[in-house]
Amino acid sequence: MINNFSLILLIATLFSGIFWIIDCVLFSNKKNTDVIEEKFISIKLLEKLIQSISSLFPVLIVVFFFRSFCYEPFQIPSGSMMPTLLVGDFILVEKFSYGIKNPITHQTLISINKPKRGDIAVFRYPNNPKINYIKRIISIPGDKITYNPYSKTIKVNPACSNKKNCNELLQITYTNIEPSNFTRSLNENNSIIYQLSEDKYDENIGLRLNTRKETIGTITHDILLTNETRDQIDLYYQQDGQSPATWTVPEGQYFVMGDNRDNSLDSRYWGFVPESNFVGKAVVIWMSFKKQENMWPTGIRLNRIGVIN
């Protein structure tokens, strides 16, 4: 799948680069410029145009390489990763975390690290690679994962492709469920509104959400729960040979979930993420606006700027 924006950026960079070369060859030498001016006075306008376009080349080439191989900015569009990431957060994704890739075709050129459990990763949605998703990696190739939609807990048997190890359990722990500062309600368009309640909870505002800490191995993070909501297991992705709500992750693929467990369209519903679909690892929030999904910002949340856990 070709990345259209990267392709456009590449074409713009090459186009400006051609004018930069023309500018260097024809107009960088004062003697050549004087000769041109004597013969063709109107060529001065062309010179200014070429110089204007060529001046973009150094900027575009830096942006192209930085965005393609180092860091790429993304905006969080939905609440599926709450409370870790909120609508209106602007993040940087480390593109080289999982390898150096061709920015146009996404083919891996140099392998560096494999995606790890607990990473917050941006990836191309397997059912529509033109759309980018962001979720937390829960299970890696070979894991057997079971999700309990009632207790809302995860059980992982690592290296379960080897039946001898299928009884071993990855250490996953949970704290007690506590009320969060978030409420959820619907507006007139039936869009979900998440509100951060700084004062005492008011039941008229909306449904209060709960939170707990989940620790997978050495990674601890907060998850958001709606106790009144139960997943519809019949909508889960059904893997051949597995019981409902149980999956064994194939080689080269990963199981991902949102931290907002009861409001996330993730691997439970559509299956696994191929390793080749990963764009990079989310590492930092560089700006955060107070906003709701599909609405204009109403302020800035400076306290959210920093490293993502």
80 an active-site residue? yes
Residue 47 C-beta-side C-alpha neighbours within 13 Å: 17
Strands 192-196 vs 178-186: parallel, antiparallel or unpaired = antiparallel
Enumerate residues 6+ apart whose C-beta is below 8 A from 222: 83, 84, 211, 212, 213, 214, 259
Residue 59 is encoded by which pair of tokens? 């900027």
191 an active-site residue? no
Write down the residue that tokens 């965005």 correspond to: 67
| Interatomic CA distance for residues 49 and 45, integer angstroms | 6
| Interatomic CA distance for residues 204 and 217, integer angstroms | 39
Enumerate residues 6+ apart whose C-beta is below 8 A from 255: 137, 138, 139, 143, 145, 247, 249, 267, 272, 273
Rounded to the nearest 10 degrees, the angle between the axes of helix 57-65 and helix 4-26 is 150
DSSP 109-170: EE------TT-EEEEE-TT-TTSEEEEEEEE-TT-EEEEETTTTEEEEETTTTSGGGTT---
Residue 176 is encoded by which pair of tokens? 């007690």
Burial class (CB in 10 A: 0-12, 13-18, 19+), 274: middle
| Interatomic CA distance for residues 155 and 42, integer angstroms | 75
Q: Which residues pair with 113 in a beta bridge?
A: none
Q: Which of 68, 80, 139, 180 is catalytic?
A: 80
Task: Please say whether the beta carbons of 103 and 119 come within 8 A.
Answer: no
Q: Which of 135, 152, 281, 291 is catalytic?
A: 135
What residues are labeled active site? 80, 135
